[in-house]
Structure 1
Amino acid sequence: YKRVADGIVSLYQRTGLFHGYSFNSWSDMVIYDEGFLRDWLESSQTSLYYSLQVLPDTQRKDDAYAALDDDFKSMFGLDEESEADGSSASCNLEAGFCAACAE
Structure 2
Amino acid sequence: ESIVIDLRDSFFTISLHPDDYEKFAFSVLSINRQATAKRYHWTVLPQGMKNSPTICQWYVDLALKNRRHKYPDRLIYHYTDSLLISAPTLEKLQVLQDLEV
> Relative contact order, CA 8 A, sep 6+: which one is greater?
2
Compare CA radii of gyration and give the structure with the larger one.
1
Which has the larger share of strand? 2
Which has the larger share of helix? 2
Q: TM-score, normalised by structure 2?
A: 0.24
Q: TM-score, normalised by structure 1?
A: 0.23
